[in-house]
Amino acid sequence: MSGDALLRATRASRAFGEVTAVDDVTMDVGAGEVVGLLGANGAGKTTLIRLLLGLIPVTGGDVELLGGPPDRERRSRLGYVPQGLGLYGDLTVAENLAFSAQAYAVAPPDLPVALQGSASVLVRDLSLGLQRQVAFLAALAHRPQVLVLDEPTSGVDPLARAALWDTIRDQADSGTGVLVTTHNMQEAAQCDRLLLMSRARLVAQGSESDIIGGTTAAAVRTDDWAAAFAALNAAGEPVMLSGRDVRVADSDPDHLRDVLSAAGIGAEVVAVPATIEERMMVLAREAPEATA
Amino acid sequence: MSFAVRSATVRYADTLALDDVSVVVGPGSVVVVVGGDGAGKTTLLRTLVGEVVLESGTVDAPPAAQIGYLTATAGSWPALTVRQNMDFVGGIYGLSGEHLEQRREELLARAGLTAAGDRLASQLSGGMRRKLGFSMTMLHEPALLVLDEPTTGVDPVSRVDLWRLVSEAAAAGAAVLMSTTYLDEAERAGSLLVLDGGRALAQGTLDEVRAALVGTITEDSVPHRSAWSWRRGRRHHEYWAPGEQRPSSALAIAPDLEDVVVALSLVRRAAVGAGR
């Protein structure tokens, strides 16, 4: 772990009554890096973020924001874009930006080319892609040292997503530490490092290739994907459609060949590198239940 | 038999929502419509289920009783339990008694919702709620399934479950048309339609969509023309038209669907801009 982490959790836990939402999590985000936080719904991602931001206290362990407890002064050096964007739909773009700039006592940001014609448009009348750009501008105006983004590109088209990622990378290049939650695996692949949560615990971390770590899936090539899918599904295999073939995560190719030949299906079964999604499925299944 | 929307043009007041878009969905296949907010995905789906009036074009769809349609927002009644939701919808389709009960329990088991059967829909996670919505659209064994963003906002593990349910339906013979904003999962479908601003940017198998891009995508540590480049992690990807001179440091790559769609969108928007 680096000494100059901007966000840090050390054996952090948070229980709500009987339920442990975050269980013994140790992680950090350093300057200039983009860290992706992945996991199933209910895995504890949102609770971990709320702990790191100081919105709720830990019930065990410790969290640090910018080298100390996440108090009001340190939070003022943080930028946060929630999934719901936190904009006022019935204010214009310029009014939204003026409002958030005033809250941080800075000058409102200049509008980028894509928004220059929209200063007096109500935010609710903008496309989702442009609304997300406004939320980014509002969160970046006070030049935060840490940026926390919850599903930053959900619902936008690929071009708008590329524009948002250009902004995220520019921030990291200028030294900001970025923590991003995402359900999009291509987006996860753009992060420098990934943290994978399941059932309140951190179950893996590292680069995409560290997490996949040489594990394989089976690709089943066949003329009749439907029959192959039905046979493997009936045998309880974690089977997935893949174009006009099927794939099976974490399974022995020989066993799959037996299942297919018993069903009278001709198919070629080859071991291929697993995807991050297939690895997540396996890790999520293996993770033990959290206890309070 | 195949279902289709052919050369559909749809206008809402001054907005051209669909401009000459066609899609064919055969039995036992999954066709995915991809595109962002405002691309025309929902309009195309609603066209196939008969909820939209066409300015021109034709629709070839089964009667309503053979269509299962999951909208992007609705799906279940929050104040009813999982089983009550299923029974209510079953009743609408004229299912009752033992047949309904059998079908309900089979679908709930497949969706992993048996243990949650007596919970209120409002108490389900987002992923579970979408699985319930999907199970409700499947109750009457429709020949055509139309699913509007069934996986948006759903975590990756639940997303895999939903894809398994969709694939099971197709493997059993249903024709499936679904929309998504996630390009990573779109690669799973046998056939794709990429929409942008109401028009088809490309369609067909993944290879056919790749082939629709004329030109080259390169990777480099720096961008060369910012209007034609985008970031992927710490690297810069960039589009070059055929014959365009490019620096030797910009190396051609095998693009994934995300790259192809970004490049097709850039080319199309440049063409639209030049035409004004």
Q: What is the mean pLDDT of residues A246-264?
A: 91
ipTM tops the 0.90 cut: no
Q: Which domains does chain B have, with CATH numbers?
A: 3-204 (3.40.50.300), 212-275 (no CATH)
- Per-residue pLDDT tens for A203-231? 999 999 899 988 999 999 998 889 999 99
A262 pLDDT higher than 90: yes
Spatial separation of the C-alpha atoms in residues A87 and B261, rounded to whole Å: 29
Spatial separation of the C-alpha atoms in residues A243 and A231, rounded to whole Å: 18
Q: A90 versus B128: which is more confidently predicted?
A: A90
- Residue A107: DSSP 8-state: P
**Chain B CA closest to residue A156:** B36
- Given an 8 Å threshold on Cβ–Cβ distance, is B37 in contact with A157? yes
A3 pLDDT higher than 70: no
CA B14 to chain centre: 25
A189, A230, A242: residue with CB nearest B171? A230
Spatial separation of the C-alpha atoms in residues A80 and A156, rounded to whole Å: 19
- Given an 8 Å threshold on Cβ–Cβ distance, is A229 in contact with B167? yes
A212 Cβ contact partners less than 8 Å away, ≥ 6 residues apart: A273, A274, A275, A276, A279
Spatial separation of the C-alpha atoms in residues B123 and B120, rounded to whole Å: 5
Whether A7-211 shares its CATH topology with A216-273 is answered no
Provide the pLDDT for residue B275. 46
Provide the pLDDT for residue A292. 40
Q: How confident is the model at residue A287 (pLDDT cuts 50, 70, 90)?
A: low
Q: Which helix (H) or strand (E) holds B171?
A: helix B156-171
| B155 reaches A (C-beta below 8 A) | yes
The whole-chain average pLDDT of chain A stands at 90
B84 Cβ contact partners less than 8 Å away, ≥ 6 residues apart: B77
* Burial class (CB within 10 angstroms; exposed 0-12, middle 13-18, buried 19+) of A13: buried
Provide the pLDDT for residue A163. 86
Provide the pLDDT for residue B126. 80
- Given an 8 Å threshold on Cβ–Cβ distance, is A156 in contact with B181? yes
A69 pLDDT higher than 80: yes
pTM of the entire structure? Answer: 0.87
Residue with tokens 């996949």: A212
A173 pLDDT higher than 80: yes
Provide the pLDDT for residue A62. 96
- Given an 8 Å threshold on Cβ–Cβ distance, is A165 in contact with B230? yes
| B123 reaches A (C-beta below 8 A) | no
**CATH architecture for segment(s) A216-273:** 2-Layer Sandwich (3.30)
Q: How confident is the model at residue A289 (pLDDT cuts 50, 70, 90)?
A: low
Q: Give the lowest-confidence range in A38-42, A247-251, B191-195.
A: A38-42
**Chain B CA closest to residue A35:** B233
B76 Cβ contact partners less than 8 Å away, ≥ 6 residues apart: B85, B121, B129, B132, B133, B136
Spatial separation of the C-alpha atoms in residues B57 and A57, rounded to whole Å: 59
Provide the pLDDT for residue A33. 96
Spatial separation of the C-alpha atoms in residues A35 and A196, rounded to whole Å: 11
- Helices A225-234 and A253-262 cross at an angle (nearest 10°) of 110
**Continuous H helices in chain A:** 45-52, 72-75, 93-103, 128-140, 158-173, 185-188, 208-212, 225-234, 253-262, 276-286
Report in angstroms the alpha-carbon separations of B81 from A19, B118, B122. Answer: 23, 5, 8
- Sign for the CA dihedral angle at B231, B233, B236, B240 comes to negative
Question: Which of B165, B167, B229 is most worth mutating to test chain A (most A CB atoms within 10 A of its CB)?
Answer: B167
Q: Which helix (H) or strand (E) holds B47?
A: helix B41-48
**What topology does CATH give the domain A7-211?**
Rossmann fold (3.40.50)
B125 Cβ contact partners less than 8 Å away, ≥ 6 residues apart: A41, A42, B158
* Closest CA relative to residue B219, chosen from B209, B211, B229, B210: B229
Spatial separation of the C-alpha atoms in residues B239 and A13, rounded to whole Å: 47
Tokens of A142: 């006070």
Please report the residues numbered 1 through 30 in chain B whose beta carbons come closer than 8 angstroms to any beta carbon of chain A.
Answer: 28, 30
Give residue B199's identity as a one-letter amino acid code: R
Give residue B253's identity as a one-letter amino acid code: I
- The β-bridge relationship of strands B15-25 and A177-181 is unpaired
Q: Which residues of chain B have pLDDT under 50?
A: 275-276
Give residue B121's identity as a one-letter amino acid code: A
* Closest CA relative to residue A166, chosen from B255, B225, B263, B230: B230
- Given an 8 Å threshold on Cβ–Cβ distance, is A226 in contact with B28? yes
Provide the pLDDT for residue A232. 93
Provide the pLDDT for residue A205. 93
* Closest CA relative to residue A217, chosen from A245, A188, A198: A245
* Closest CA relative to residue B90, chosen from B75, B103, B108: B103
- Given an 8 Å threshold on Cβ–Cβ distance, is B187 in contact with A243? yes
